[in-house]
Amino acid sequence: MPVFTREQLSAYLDDALSDGETAQVEQALRQSDPLRRQLRGLMAERDRGEHSIGAIWRRERLSCPNREQLGNYLLRVLDGDQQDYIQFHLHTVGCAFCLANLADLQARQKEPASRTQQRRRRFFESSAGLLRAGRSKR
């Protein structure tokens, strides 16, 4: 099991490692709980860092899938490798930023249905109200 330095993990988060090194880190992350904890600790540290730096880092996080990719992941329309990568990124790396993004997308996917229901209920209530008003006039 290779040991990674803070600098290497940091470079991994910045997507600044070579493909070979990135593969090594990802392989190790799949196998090592302490390494996953170490990486999450580093991510949390960076998120807590000076506000603007944290914000820039999040904006420029290259290893994060974008919203469209996350949406496709939810719909399961990505090819196997991409689906695996995002699964890995979310659940093995535990990227809080992408998990929050995913939760937001899931909430939006559910929204239209409940909105339609609300509209139906409102329509039903106002029709019932009209019927009652009509009846009381008679």
Q: Minimum distance between the CB of residue 89 and Zn ion, rounded to whole angstroms?
A: 5
* Residue at token pair 């249905």: 113
Q: Does 13 bind Zn ion (CB under 5 A)?
A: no
For residue 102, which of 79, 82, 86, 81 has the smallest C-alpha distance? 86
* Distance from C-alpha of 105 to C-alpha of 96, rounded to nearest angstrom: 14
Site string for Zn ion, 38-67 (x = CB under 5 A): --------------------------x---
Query: Would you count residue 70 as binding Zn ion (CB under 5 A)?
Result: no
Residue (41 or 129) nearer to Zn ion, CB: 41
CA 2 from centroid of its chain's CA atoms:
29
Instruction: Say whether residue 98 binds Zn ion (CB under 5 A).
Output: yes
Contact residues for 22 (Cβ-Cβ < 8 A; gap 6+):
12, 15
Binding site for Zn ion (CB under 5 A): 64, 95, 97-98
